[in-house]
Amino acid sequence: SCASCHTDNPAAQGKHAKTEKIIKPMAPAANPGRFTDAAKVAKWFKRNCNDVLERECSAQEKGDVMTYLMGVGSK
């Protein structure tokens, strides 16, 4: 699952399950630069969807993830 690297709190720092590389928070409230580069966003959605779901995510799934993350930590 996503939480295996990103933790169950998207506003917290995560760590890659295999490499132990630090992963900055997913939530823009905690990491304002998270979704500012469209090419990086597309690259990581492709890679992580394939790793977690063993397929590419649909536009609806990507939108659902973005909507959720945009709401984490916002008031």
Q: What is the pLDDT of residues 40-56, one digit of tens each?
A: 999 999 999 999 999 99
Q: Are 29 and 74 in contact (CB under 8 A)?
A: yes
Bridge partner list, 14: 23
Domains of the chain, each with CATH number or no CATH:
3-71 (1.10.760.10)
Quote the pLDDT of residue 17: 85
Read off the pLDDT of each residue in 55-62 and give the average, rounded to a whole number. 97
pLDDT exceeds 80 at position 66? yes
pTM: 0.81
Q: What is the pLDDT of residues 13-25, one digit of tens each?
A: 999 888 999 999 9
CA distance 47 to 27: 18
